[in-house]
Structure 1
Amino acid sequence: MRPLCVHMENFCSYRAPASADLHDVDYFVLVGPTGSGKSTVIDAICFALYGSVPRWGRENVIKLALAPSATSGKVALVFESAGRRYGVVRALARGAKGAVTTREARLDELDPSADPAGGIEELLAAQVRTIAAGEQVTAAIEHITGLEYRFFTQCVVLPQGRFAEFLQAKPSERQDLLIQLLDAKGFEAINRRAGEEEKAAKAHADAAERQLAKLTEADEAAESEAAQRLDARNAFGDEVRSALDDLRRDGDEIRDREAEAAEGERAAAALTALAMPPDVPTLADDLAAATTEAERLAGEAAKAGERESAARERLAELGDKTVLDLAVRAHRDHARLTGEIEDVRAEAQDARQAAADAEADAGVARTNLQQAQDERQRVRDAHAAADLAQRLAVGEPCPVCLTEVARLPEHHAPAALGAADRDIKARTADLETAQQRHREHENRLGRLEEKLDGLERQLDAQAEHIRARPDAEDVQRRLEDVRSAEQQAESARKDALTAKSGLTKAEDLCARLNDEAGRGLARLDAARDTVVALGAPPLDPTDLHAAWTTLLDWRDREAGTRRQAAEALNGTLNDLRTRRAERRGAVAERLAAHEIAVPASAEPDTVREAVLNARNQAQSTLDTIRRDRRMAAGLAEDVRRHREEAAVAHELTIRLRANNFENWLCGEALEMLVTGASETLRELSDGQFELVLDARNAIEVIDYAEAGLRRSVRTLSGGETFQASLALALALSDQVARFGGGAARSLDSIFLDEGFGTLDPATLDTVATTLERLTSGGDRMVGLVTHVPALAERIPVRFDVTRDSTGSHLEKKAT
């Protein structure tokens, strides 16, 4: 597994999107202050692959992956393994209650031709197929890398504080790792496959023996008998060939004569089908009559058109009818208005006199009313005096003149006051009636004068119209002349339309008859075409009836000739069929003698095919017997071979059944690993330490500073433990590809987190040289996390990690 690019968004301390581009890097270092986020980059690689990080304590712990204040985040890794490119993405989300879950996990195979310099998005977009999603991603990663999570963190990613895990692990735990790296589980599959092969080989042997038992009749005697039968069928085929040729010639001649007879029948049918259409004899006469009628109607239409034109010209000469209509109407209205004016003037004079009379009556009524009013006042005064006189007393002053009353006056009874009121009321009614009559006569007079004024204005207007044509009789005469001319023109127009309509119908009839004549000629041509091959004579197309008569006369002659020829041909056919039947019977007898079943009426080709099939059947029988004999020999060989294969597979299952083989293989691999690590440890410790295995395959250290004392690796100090663990990790990364040849897993990367601060300068230089040698081939990536400047300066690619209030930041630099 070799990373190309790792990308982080809201992952741990990396809030802003950050990517570590590793596609062009073999050896790099992550440097920065403590807590800046250096180890988080290595954590991101591990989390993208397995969904967990070693320094979080337990597997499947993801709550620490998401930045504290973020609601979502993502980690993506593009890597290569075994020549293929993959992309793995894990997206995180924080729920409403603060719980962090994996929202999405996906593993895709990517197109390896995509340029890694394009960045994480471009690389992930080059998707070829989806390999796994959700909970299946981790299992798919383990299959691709060949390592479980616990072993990945021991030989690929060595996190802080866990360098010594592989060094101090129990032998059984180390063996589990080596089994995965060596793919030793494959030998269990070999053992199972050997058992399956043993069963399969036995089954194949048993099946071959069963098939061999069915072939007991395929012996030499059966083969000889089949060969003799084949020779006899070959000889009979040669004998019957001449008879079949005679039958074939008879059949060919019969078919030729039958074809001639069929052709004669088709010719007779074609001749019989010739018949003159029923409308042909009268079509020419109908067409001539229609043409004559069309010419007549064309002349009538022309004459009617000339009459209409003459009537239109005379009408134009008589002038505008509208002007004459207006003049006549003006004379008529002038006379009418003159009479009406006289009548209105007389009526107005009467109304004027009635108005004057009504005014006089109103004056009389007004005078009478005044007199009645005066009389009523007098009566009122008399009544007042009589009333005052009743209240006077002699010696009392008069209330009117204040003079002392000497003598009481004597008054007669005054007239009744009601009579005076009634008289005034009657006189008032008379005055109102007289005034109403006067107003009515005045209104009527006004209306008559207004009407008279309007009539006079109309009369003046009509006088203007008749001034140009003052003679009313002349105007009326001219108008009558125009109307007469219009009637004549309309009559001529109708005559012309009638003539044109008749002409159109006649022309349509001519066209229809011409079309029928054309179709009749086409039918004649079509009818002649059906018999032209029989020698039909040429026809005159100008006379349809004569042409049909010529064709039908020829038909009658030709039909008689062909009937005679057909009778002679039928006699020849009967003779040929009788001869063929006799020859067929002879061939059928010979076939029956050779046990070949063919119907007596079979054609020569059918007989030949039956003879050939009989020969082929004899050949097939012989071939089958020979094949069965060869198959029997092959089956005997198969039985022997499968029995041997079953024995070999049985022996292999016995030898691989115990665990000794797996233990031996892991022991050999561990010994090679410890030998390689010892060489590196001697360089790191300046020859003081060497690693060895005890009898139980536990790793011990030989301390040459203590006279070669062998002791447990757990007794080493912190710095010594780091040296031993580093040597073992480097050896594991360097030599694991050699374990077990092509079946081994390849560790293309190793990532070391801290631990270098415990080394002295000389040891640090040795470590640096060893790491440089490990990456010199370009086939392995080494990544370090360190605070040691001397080591960081010797690494060609450096990632500077910083952290501020917005989170961690990553910058790639060349040293």
Structure 2
Amino acid sequence: MRPKNLTIHGFASFRDEVEIDFEDADLFVLSGPTGSGKSSIIDAMTFALYGAVPRYGKQATTAIVSKGRNEARVCLRFDAGGKEYTATRVVRMLSPERATTKEARLEQGVQVLADSTRDIENAITSIIGLNYEDFTRCVVLPQGEFQKFMHANPAERQDLLISLLGLGLYEDLRREASRRADGHRSEFEIAQRRLEEDYQGVTPDALKRSEEVLKALKATQLAAAKAGDELEQLRDELKEIARKSETLATQSDIVAKLRIPAAATVAAGQLDEANLKVDKLAEELKKVRLERSALNEERQELPDRGDLKVQLSRREEAATVAAQLVELKADSKDGKTRLETASEALAQAEDRLTRSESDLRSAQNRHQAAHLARSLVPGEPCPVCLQVVVDLPDHSGTADLAALGEVVKKAKADLKAATDNLGKIEKSAARSEARFQEAEKRFKDLAKQLEKTPELEVLAKDLARVDDLDARVRSAIASEGAIERKRQVAQEKAGLQAGMVVAAWEKWKEARGDASRAGLDPPDRVEGDLLASWKGLEQWAIAAAKRLRPKLDALEEMRRSKQAEMEGILKGLKESLARTGVEVKEGENPIGAVQSAYAKAEKAAADLQAQLEKACQLQDRARQEDSAGRTARELSRLLGAKYFEGWMIKRALKALVLGASKTLRELSSGAYSLEVGDQNEFVVIDHLNADERRSAKSLSGGETFLASVSLALALADQVAELGVRGGANLEALFLDEGFGTLDPETLDTVASALEELGAGGRMIGLITHVQDLAERMPVRFELYKEGNVSSITKMAV
């Protein structure tokens, strides 16, 4: 993998978009003060490819997003295997504690190779040849770790080598093998325990004995089947005997019960008597109805009783009105007389009132003149006539006004009384006249209505005759009803008697039908004679009963014989079953017992066969678990540090030193090479000093850098051989020089070594904060940081 271009936005301290061009940068340096973002460049490349950063792990995506930004975007364009690819990832913040990968895409030109986090990681691993763990160990070389590795003691070096090469996997495999060995041992013990507890006695010998029992029971079952056939035939014969016996018993029961019912004798005798009574009452009813018919004809010749009553009532009313008319005429005449008298009295009262009122006015005038006269003065004018008064007039004879007022008052009272009396008399006279007129009109109307009506005596006689005929008709109707009710009762009784006769005939038919259905041949009825029919059937039944008895006795004897034969067969079968060990319980069918015993034995043999197969399977499983457990235990032992891991570390150390020694001779112009000493320590061979062998700890600072770089490159070059997941053709390496300061001599050595590495066609990137070393590189990426924001500038020599 060789990076060509990297674009970062919102990633770590690179809040703003930064684009880094690696074209023509075979040897370059990332320089800047501590914390300026040098390592974040490598982190961005790793994240673009694998979606993770070594410092934060695969899950801590929130840490890579710049403070104050909602998302981080990284886009890496790189070459691998002669082809150009572009890997892009975008992380979006969901909350201060959560983030998600919004976009993950791998492209080759315009073709999208992967568009999900899982697919892009698998594709990158396939294209580059390194998974995430191998990439972080081989592409970014921890120079400081290899310096420690070179100076460490054997135990520390072993731990460092395990860490650098990822050989801890073999310890994981050893633990897994040990765990599986324990699991197989546990399964083996469980299988053994089940064999002892659940399958004790489940052996081939036990199965053989079970099959022998089954064979013996099979023979017994065949014998039982033969006996069963014989018994079945006897049962069929007994069924036929039982059927015939049942038929004869039914016939015997029928003829034994076939006797003349008492109701038949009574019904036959009483039916004629009831019919005679019905006929007699029918004749009486006919006679009464003829009488009633004659009365009705006679009655129809007379007027209607209601009309007679109306006419009689009108005659009586006319007589009453005539008598009232005389009285009312007298009252009317009397009223007129009293009215005339009252009118005269009223006229007289009005005249008296007129005279009294006139007298009172005259007296009042005189009194007024006398009053005025008292105010006259002789010689002065009169206030009324304006004449001069000569003499004073004399008014000494003035009447008493009070007395005259009383007279007027009384006259008014008399007038009112006369007026009231006249009004009353007028009303009374009007009423009398009205009653008279009304009575006169009613009398005229009645007289007109009665012009053609017989006289009162004739009407009374006709009404009496009608009442007599009506009473006689009612009496005839009552007699007719009484006779009809008696006839109905007699008819109902005759009907009951006829029903009893019909029921007796039905009984006869039922009895004869029962006998016929039972296979007998009873006699036919005597037409129209119930008692004769019953007597013939009864006599036939008595004779039939005598014939059936011997037949029943013969069938019973045959039944006992067949039953004894059946019991003999069953007894012999039970004895045969007892000899084969089959127990027959009281009341149990022997054939069923042997079939049940055979079925149980057959099931027991099948169950034993199945258990034996399961036991064999369990034994095989136990052997497999034991074998697998032993294999896993041995694998765990061999993978231990004493065996495989130790051998692997020695092999890896030897290959690592061999590759590092070759690189060191090239970087040191043939001056130095490396070997592993007898105590697994690193030994430097000084070829310029007669191949002197001395400890690697004796190397100067520059020499130490060359040796550690050689070890780092050996790891990168030989990762396919030394690692556990294969390797790749590494086209770019990034070195973390790991020195705080460099003296001039070391600086020259390091610079020369890096130039040698860069000339080999591989991209070499150096991460350092040592400015003197950075200035010696042909391409320099200077990083700056203002506040929390980093920026970068590409500089070429």
Query: Highest CA radius of gyration, 1 or 2?
Result: 2
TM-score normalised by the shorter chain: which range applies?
A: 0.3 to 0.5
